[in-house]
């Protein structure tokens, strides 16, 4: 079987035959243009040679449902947009998706500078009026928790309607984001605490709680970064929809306990692209939501996916959601691993910034919104008391406001006995260790500060 080294393929030329990988996947279909973007991807994946299918005998032309892979049938009721009906599993399907018209339009807009992704108008953070932990009454806490749990169900219903081809208006998504913005203006810390505590509805897919938590973290970052109310709301809308394409990844891959192989990763790489045709059927959806869904998994140094864009080619709102997405994924449990401790996750986020993966500027906004010790986690103080982080000090990331849960002698306090402590005003006391959100905590104590 004759092979052609990748270096011999001429960029910009049109493939006269199908070019296949060693696995028999069509890399360049006959009639397609050989582009630098695809050649770069092949180099990144260490594909050094291709095989020309000169007589059509190397690959079986079996037309598969675009949502079938590895023997998994499409979920019942999922509707397939026209743009996806000829997409095959594996690498060939990924390459076809990389050439979607909508993806090209988004890339072109950024290249030409036709995107407005900097703060414009009155900063929403100037309208914040945060209540103290002591001011929270039981009705307020119960309402916030109910809003969160109801919203997980609403997201599940919304995703279902979109993937079933039902008529959906963006006003539904906007309303969900606006509800949380309204609460965040007065009690951001409680909302982030509830998100961090993983209050999950039994039987729901992690995609739904993940999407809601990413939305809440994104709202906090965008607000702290100086965006206007409308910009914050639209960022939240995009965050709610950012991972919708993951529902179209076969469950055997999405919920796999072990490490993904190369073919399975192709399906993961597809999900930001697969989402675009579905989003186009949401009436009046702002363009920003497309950029967020498309670019949340890109990275500042060009090492992300699906297109390998670098910082100058990534929409700033997508960069906000990138940080929220990574942090939520690190601190949430998955089938194949336990969750990272919040402080460790924050350390990893900062390391990713230093490695050129995430925006350092926006990570500073994240720290100012959530603290180096994220709201909700349990910390050990230098005098060996155990406390929960309940609020942040925007200028002193390592000195949050806490409520003491356990005295130094080991006495666990009741909800009525817990008391607050502002570490910024007690320089002699510092945090020496951080724990998981559920360390020492029942829901009553968790929401009782």
How far is it, in rounded angstroms, from Cα 110 to Cα 186?
A: 35
Sign of CA dihedral 107, 108, 113, 117: negative
DSSP annotation string for 392-437: --TT-TT--EEEEEE-TTSPBPPTTT-EEEEGGG-TT--EEEE--T
Closest CA to 39 of 82, 80, 95: 95
Would you state the structure tokens that stand for residue 385, as one six-digit string? 């008391």
Name the 3-class secondary structure at 13: coil
How far is it, in rounded angstroms, from Cα 284 to Cα 420?
A: 46
The region, left, alpha or beta by phi > 0 then psi within -120 to 50, assigned to residue 364 is: alpha
Q: Give, in degrees to the nearest 5, the angle at Cα 13 between 12 and 19.
A: 115
DSSP annotation string for 358-405: S-HHHHHHHHHHHTTTTTT-EEEETTS-EEEEEE--TT-TT--EEEEE
DSSP 98: H
Number of Cβ within a 10 Å radius of residue 63:
8
Q: CA 166 → CA 159, 243, 253, 308, 383, distances in Å?
A: 10, 19, 26, 33, 58
Q: CA 288 → CA 62, 219, 232, 316, 379, distances in Å?
A: 37, 14, 11, 10, 37
Alpha helices in 303-379 (DSSP H): 316-331, 342-354, 360-370
In this prediction, residue 44 carries a pLDDT of: 64
The pTM of the full predicted model, rounded to 2 decimals, is 0.84
Closest CA to 271 of 300, 302, 299, 250: 250
In this prediction, residue 87 carries a pLDDT of: 86
Question: For every one of its 449 residues, what pLDDT tens digit does the chain have, with 9 covering 90 and above?
Answer: 588 888 888 888 888 888 887 766 677 777 777 877 677 767 766 678 888 887 766 544 333 333 444 333 444 468 999 989 888 888 888 988 999 999 999 999 999 999 999 999 999 999 999 887 778 888 888 899 999 999 999 999 999 999 999 999 999 999 999 999 999 999 998 899 888 876 444 345 689 999 999 999 999 999 999 999 999 999 999 999 999 999 888 888 888 888 888 888 999 999 999 999 999 999 999 999 999 999 999 999 999 999 999 999 999 999 999 999 999 999 988 777 788 888 999 999 999 999 999 999 999 999 999 989 988 889 999 999 999 998 888 889 999 999 999 999 999 998 889 899 999 999 999 999 998 877 875 444 444 44
How far is it, in rounded angstroms, from Cα 50 to Cα 329?
A: 36
Q: CA 269 → CA 72, 159, 219, 340, 355, distances in Å?
A: 18, 20, 26, 24, 22
Is 3.40.50.1950 the CATH classification of the domain at 109-370?
no
Given a contact cutoff of 8 angstroms between Cβ atoms, the answer to whether 239 and 222 are in contact is no
Closest CA to 242 of 201, 284, 274: 274
In this prediction, residue 73 carries a pLDDT of: 42
How far is it, in rounded angstroms, from Cα 195 to Cα 45?
A: 36
Q: How many residues are given for the chain? A: 449
In this prediction, residue 205 carries a pLDDT of: 66
In this prediction, residue 57 carries a pLDDT of: 60
């Amino acid at each position: 079987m004759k092979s052609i080294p990748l270096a011999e393929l001429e960029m910009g030329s049109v493939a006269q035959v199908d070019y296949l990988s060693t696995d028999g996947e069509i890399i360049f279909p006959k009639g397609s243009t050989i582009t630098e973007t695809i050649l770069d991807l092949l180099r990144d994946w260490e594909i050094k040679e291709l095989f020309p299918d000169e007589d059509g005998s190397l690959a079986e032309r079996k037309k598969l449902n675009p949502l079938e892979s590895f023997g998994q049938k499409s979920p019942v009721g999922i509707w397939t947009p026209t743009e996806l009906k000829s997409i095959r599993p594996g690498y060939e399907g990924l390459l076809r998706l990389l050439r979607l018209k909508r993806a090209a339009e988004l890339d072109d807009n950024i290249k030409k500078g036709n995107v407005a992704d900097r703060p414009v108008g009155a900063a929403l953070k100037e309208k914040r009026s945060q209540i103290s932990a002591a001011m929270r009454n039981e009705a307020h806490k119960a309402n916030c928790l109910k809003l969160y749990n109801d919203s997980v169900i609403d997201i599940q219903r919304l995703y279902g309607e979109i993937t079933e081809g039902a008529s959906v208006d963006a006003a539904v998504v906007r309303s969900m984001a606006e509800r949380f913005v309204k609460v965040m203006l007065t009690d951001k810390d409680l909302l982030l605490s509830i998100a961090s505590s993983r209050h999950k509805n039994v039987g729901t897919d992690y995609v739904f709680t993940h999407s809601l938590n990413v939305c809440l973290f994104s709202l906090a970052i965008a607000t702290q970064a100086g965006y206007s109310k409308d910009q914050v709301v639209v960022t939240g809308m995009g965050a709610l929809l950012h991972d919708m394409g993951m529902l179209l990844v076969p469950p055997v891959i999405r919920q796999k306990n072990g490490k993904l192989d190369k073919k399975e990763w192709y399906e993961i790489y597809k999900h930001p692209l697969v989402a675009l045709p579905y989003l186009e059927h949401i009436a009046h959806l702002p363009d920003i939501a497309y950029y967020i869904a498309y670019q949340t998994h890109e990275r500042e140094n060009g090492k992300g996916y699906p297109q390998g864009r670098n910082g100058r080619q990534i929409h700033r709102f997508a960069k906000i959601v990138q940080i929220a997405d990574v942090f939520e994924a690190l601190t949430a449990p998955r089938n194949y691993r336990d969750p990272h401790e919040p402080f460790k996750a924050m350390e990893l986020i900062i390391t990713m910034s230093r490695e050129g993966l995430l925006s350092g500027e926006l990570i500073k906004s994240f720290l100012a919104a959530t603290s180096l010790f994220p709201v909700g986690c349990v910390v050990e103080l230098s005098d060996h008391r155990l406390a929960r982080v309940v609020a942040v000090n925007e200028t002193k990331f390592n000195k949050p406001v806490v409520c003491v849960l356990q005295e130094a002698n080991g006495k666990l306090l009741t909800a009525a006995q817990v008391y607050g402590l502002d570490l910024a005003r007690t320089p002699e006391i510092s945090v020496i260790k951080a724990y998981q959100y559920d360390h020492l905590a029942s829901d009553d104590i968790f929401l009782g500060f």
